[in-house]
Each structure stands twice: as C-alpha cells, then as structure tokens.
Amino acid sequence: MLIKLRFLLLTLFLSLFCKAQTPQRRSQDSLNPTKTNHISEVVIQPSSRNTRLSEGNRIVPISGNKEFKTSLNLLDVLKKTPGVTVDQEGGIFIGGRVAPAIFVDGKPVVMTNQELQSYLRSLSPEMVELIEVNTNPSAKYDAEFKGIIDIRLKKNINLGWRGNYNGNIYVNKFNYKENSLNLSYNADKVIYHLQLGYNNGISTYRYNALQYLANTNIMRTDTYQEDEGSVYAVQTGADIKLNDENRVGINLRGNFRKNDRVRRGSLYTMDKSETYQVFNTESENPMDYSQDNYGMTLDYSFQHKGFKMNFLGNYLSVKNWQKDDFLNRDKASSTLLSYWKSDLFNKIDMYTGQVDISQKIGNADVEAGFKYSYSNTNNNNRYDTLSVNNQFRFDPERSNIFSYKEKIIAGYLAYRQKFGKLSMNAGIRFENTESISNAVISDSIVSRNYLEWLPSLSLNYNFNKSSELSLSYSRKITRPIFSQLNPFRFYYSPLNYWIGNPYLQPSFTSQIKAAYRYKNWITNLTVGREKDVMTRYPLYNPTTNVLEYLGTNLPYRDFAVLETSLPVKVTRWWNMTGQIAGYYNYEFRPYLENVFALNIYNYEIRLNQVFTLPKRYTVNLFANYESRTGNSLYIIKPRYTVDLSIQKAWFDNTLNTKIGYNNIFDSYEQHLEFRHKQIMDNRLTHWWDSSRFLLSVSYNFGSSKYKSQEIPRVEDESRAR
C-alpha cells in the first residue's frame, strides 16, 4: 500500500506540472501553429523573499513565504529552515547538534519535549509571522541556552472571538492522529484563551545489531517495538490590560499522557563459521507508562517612557509512572530463562521567578535581570526478580532510590549602543549553582556549589542595505539533565542497557561566530571549544556479553560549523533554496587504556523546491543528504531523505488542505559501526517509521484574528527529561 501511495503522489505531481505548462504552450501555438517551441534560456535570479540578519541572527519570514506554503505545520517548517535540523523523533537542533530553547514572541515556552512537538504541529505556517534563529545567545539569556529559536506569531487585535482547528493524520503501518482546537476572545481590556488537544495512535521502532563476540561467536540482536499512546492537553488563561503602562497575565495548563508499549526481541548466536547455533533466545518487554503534568505561570509587565520592567513566575509539577516486565525464553523450547519486573515512580517540582528591567539612555540601552530557580526530583525504581521457587524477590543490584535538588541564582548586566553603522551589545552574567544528589541504596551522595561568570560580546556592521557583517562571542554552561545523573538501569535488551552517572560535571563552551549577508545569501561560521564534554561510552564485558552505556566527561572537544544558504527564483512558478553545511569535530577521548583523538569532517546538503501551479495548487519537493560522520568511537554511515507535499486553500483561505509523503524511499535509518575492532566489533541500526503519508486540515473561524499569549517556559524544564 505504501509503495502505491508513493507512485500516486509522484503521478499527481507530474500531472499537475504538465497542466501548469499547458496554457502557455497553447497560447504560443495559437500565434504560430507551425512553430516548434524550445526553452532557449533559464534565468536564475535571487528570490524576493526578505531573509535578513538581526545582530547576527537569521530572520526567516514564514507567513506568505512560498517555500513553506506546503508545510503541514511549524515542525515541518523548521525541517526546511536553513541552519535547523529535525530528526526522526521530532528533536530540533541547530549549529550541528545543539538543542535550542524554543521561544514564542520573545519568551521561552513551558513545555516538555513531547508537548512542544505537539504544539509546533498545531501551528500552521500562516499563523507564524517569522522565526529568528540565534546560534550564539548573549549573556542576557540563561547560560544553558546555546541556541534559541524565537517564533513570532501573527498579531491582530480585532475585538471578538476567533477559533482554529488543526487536524493531522500520519499513515504508515499504523496511524497517528493529532487534533488541536484554539479559541480566544478579545474583550478589549481582557483577552481570554483556551487550547484543547488530543493525540493518539501507534508508532513503531526497530533496532538491529551485529556483534562479533570475544569468544569469536557471532550474535545478532533484533528488536521491534510498538508504542500506542494518547495525550490529552488543556491550556487556559487571561491577559489583562490594567492601563497603558501595566499588564498582567495568568496561565494554567495540564497535560496527561498514557503509553502502552510492546517490545519484542531476539538474541541469535552462531559460531564464527556461522554453521552451528550456540543459543537462540527471545524476549518480551511490555511497558505501561503514564505522565501527569501541571503548570502555572504569572506574568506582569510595566512600561513608562524609556523604562521597562517584567516579572515572570512559574511553577511546574511532573509525575511519571512506569511498569515494565522483562521475560526471556529459549526460542526452541519456550523455556523461561529469566523474568524480572520494574516499578518506577518519578516526581519533579520546579519553581522559578525572574525580574528584568531596561532603561533607554539616548541611543543606548542598559538592561539588568535577576533569576531564582529551584528544582526537586525524586525517583524510586524497584526491580523484582523471579527466583528458583517461582517467587518474585527484591533485586537490590538493579533497584535504587535517587533524589536530586538544585538551586540556581543568576543575574546579568547588558549594555547596547549604536555608533553610526556599527552596533555593539556587551554583557556579563553570573550563575551560582547548588546541588545535591543522593542515590540511597548505593549510599552515594554528591554535593556541589559553584559560581561561574559568563561574558558575551557582539558587533554588527551594516555596509549598506544589501550587506552586513556580525561578530559575536559567548561562554556557556551545560548542566547534566536529571536522566544523565540518575544511576538506574534503562534496558534496550536483556544484554544492553544504559546507566546515569551522578558524578557528571557540567560542561563549558566558548565560541566565536561570524555571520555575513549579501542580499538573501547568508553565510555563518562558528568555531569553539567545549570542556568537560558530557557523553556516553560503551563498556563490553567479554565474559557475560553484556554491553553497558555509561556517562562520563571528556576533557575537551574542538568544533567548527560553516553554513551557507541562497534562495533563488528560477522562473515565475519555480523557487528553490539550496543549503550547504560543513562540520568539523575533534574529540580528545580517553577510553579504557587508550586515548582516541580523531578529526571528523562531514557535510549536509539540502535542496527545497517549490512549484506554484494553476488553480492555487502548490507543490514542494524537499531533499536532504548527510555524508558519513561519527565521533572518536563510532562511524555513522551516509543517509538521505526525499519529501513530497501538495497544498491548496479553499473558501478565501479559511480552509487549508495539505497532503504529503515524508521519506518517500524509507532511506533515513541510522547505521553505526564501532571503529576500533580490537576492542569491540559492533554494528547497530536504528529505524523509525518516518516514511509516512500525511494529511492535514486547518480551518479558521470567528470574527477576530487575535493571537493569544503563550505560556512562558523556564530554562530548567528542558532538563526534566
């Protein structure tokens, strides 16, 4: 069925393309019926789209941009945005592998990763005015923000109410459906808003491994996973305009997630000649997972002449429950070899408050801010193992109780001024961190208290309207997220799991960025060094054949990123944007009794083509190629993807329909191979069901087009994963 859908979409595209050319040929033939038509020349000229820089940050217009007209949602827009990458699981990255903070209208949004993806899928391109991609944030922003994507929504202050419904269906072996309803009512002094969401469906994942064991046997691991999930979301609040100088907002939200996962796998081992079977086992790992998420935000702002003040307070509560069963059997006889259960409870509470003030003095701006955040996480993961007398007994080797508390006090001072064509922005930030982690059963307590000063500086020079140059420097800190510290076992298969490390240190990144724009052609170069790099490494036990992934800090890594993009208009009906990115990475990695330090180079090429056809059809063909890459331990093989989508608006743009097929050739799986065969000969493949047929419907109704205020997000939320 999927193959038929692929050919159906390609056939539809070709038929529409042919129809687009038919009127022109007929008109020419009517003037000279004996004349043979030839395309004598194709003139390529820069596109008229107003891509620009702002203090070195890329500004990309979205609404009305033909390049994104066929995109189903904003997540699809980001996938095609120069300098931004979206992986198979919806993860967003910029500047290589930097996970950016997501802002809406200049403020961070309070959402977990899964909630954020659902929210981005609920936004159609026409609801977004522009996005700003900041790959080197200043000291004004939290030090964990190595990058920021700021989404600026379209604004309209018409009185009355407005509604929008968005529905998406993803079809592969199974279906996944997303539904969102947005309502807002503008009563002049008070704006009320309500957002409801419901998503449900099944996604699949496959993991395969080939490993040559120390005893020369050959082991194959095959894992297949089906994840059936449903998500209910509600968000409501009000923005109150007290007078021309004072505004207050309050927002409440809840998000409730339920997942039932079934994972089946096999371990098949042969001798080195692959003629004699050593063992063949199969495993089952059913999981029951649920999450309750509550949040509350209070926002107050005051503005008088050149003085501004803003207060933002936030409370977040997350509760997770997860129950797993791990059953391993001999495949031939169905004899039960082992059986253990896990029961996990996790609770996270976060409190934040911050105040920002600014004062305009002539053509200069002085800004200062203070922030306090406190987080408390408690984890209780109990394992019980089936004993020889068919009774489940507590397993202290796998079980643990882990708590982590963290308090951060931060402040900044920034100065901004313009000198003719040159503008300058300098700042200094301090962050004091106090943390204590306690792994109760293993009796491991780690306490830390450290203060860091983090400067930033940016210079921007406008030569003329067509060209500008920007230089910037920043120093950042990355604290380990809670899952990296948690010393629990998380199983991929009976012989493969990863464990958190409570002794992980934060990493520090210093980088310099240069950005140059000539008309719509933008080029960025970023170079830097990261110290105490947090990473995972494999540890293979040749006796038990167990493969663990453990967390550690590397001494340092050097990196560089060179990106360039140019939109061009080939003809009146054909626009395209070419993107080329080159990456360099050098890791100094002690591993076992060796030190590995390799220079890794790779590149990525993306081509986005948009065809504007008669009867208001728009067709988009997007292709992406990633060269061979990796790190000091693993090689990652090349991969590519091709997406096709078609869009049409109806009834004066109130109804918008889109169909598409992502990853048409199912070619975007990830292949990894361990470099150092003398240590371990291991090859892995990860596959996600990203090859999907897509259908999207968006409908706007009501008397107003007012944009509701989104809930801000604290920086610590991203670390609650």
At 508-522, the pLDDT tens digits run 999 999 999 998 899
pLDDT for residue 50: 64
What is the distance of C-alpha 384 from the center of its chain?
A: 35
- Confidence check: pLDDT of 116 > 70: yes
- Confidence check: pLDDT of 311 > 50: yes
Using only C-alpha atoms, the chain has a radius of gyration, in whole angstroms, of 27
Sign of CA dihedral 128, 133, 138, 144: positive
157 band by pLDDT with thresholds 50, 70 and 90: low
**16-20, 434-438, 508-512: range with lowest mean pLDDT:** 16-20
Token look-up 């495993």 returns 283
pLDDT for residue 616: 86
Q: Where are the domains of the chain?
A: 43-720
Q: Please state, in angstroms and rounded to a whole number, the distance separating the CA atoms of residues 34 and 192.
A: 67
At position 248, the amino acid (one-letter code) is V
Question: For residue 120, what are the CA distances in angstroms to 79, 84, 155, 541?
Answer: 12, 14, 17, 43
432 and 409 Cβ atoms separated by less than 8 Å = yes
Sign of CA dihedral 581, 536, 101, 660: positive
pLDDT for residue 13: 45
- Confidence check: pLDDT of 236 > 60: yes
Q: Please state, in angstroms and rounded to a whole number, the distance separating the CA atoms of residues 28 and 6.
A: 34
Name residues whose C-beta falls within 8 Å of residue 665's C-beta, 6 or more positions apart in sequence. Answer: 6, 641, 642, 691
pLDDT for residue 323: 94
- Confidence check: pLDDT of 2 > 70: no
For residues 224-239, give the mean pLDDT: 92
- Confidence check: pLDDT of 347 > 80: yes
For residues 549-566, give the mean pLDDT: 94
594-645 confidence digits (pLDDT tens): 899 999 999 999 999 999 998 889 999 999 999 999 999 999 999 999 999 9
488 in helix, strand or coil? coil
Mean pLDDT of the chain: 86
- Kindly write down the DSSP assignment for every residue of 76-133, as one continuous string: HHHHHSTTEEE-TTS-EEETTTB-PEEEETTEEB---HHHHHHHHHH--GGGEEEEEE
CATH topology for 43-720? Maltoporin; Chain A (2.40.170)
pLDDT for residue 704: 63
- Confidence check: pLDDT of 24 > 50: no
Strand pairing class (547-571; 496-499): parallel
SS3 string, 52-76, reads EEECCEEEEECCCCHHHCCCCCHHH
**31-40, 48-57, 520-529: range with lowest mean pLDDT:** 31-40
φ, ψ for residue 30, nearest 5 deg: -65, -30
Residues listed for the chain:
721
- Confidence check: pLDDT of 32 > 70: no
66 band by pLDDT with thresholds 50, 70 and 90: confident
- Confidence check: pLDDT of 7 > 90: no
Of 433 and 163, the structure prediction assigns the larger pLDDT to 433
Token pair listed for 673 = 């191979």
718 band by pLDDT with thresholds 50, 70 and 90: very low
For residues 351-375, give the mean pLDDT: 94
For residues 231-260, give the mean pLDDT: 91
Name residues whose C-beta falls within 8 Å of residue 529's C-beta, 6 or more positions apart in sequence. Answer: 509, 510, 511, 556, 557, 558, 559
**Which phi-psi region, left, alpha or beta, contains residue 306 (left: φ > 0; alpha: ψ -120 to 50)?**
alpha
pTM of the model: 0.85
pLDDT for residue 12: 47
- Confidence check: pLDDT of 545 > 60: yes
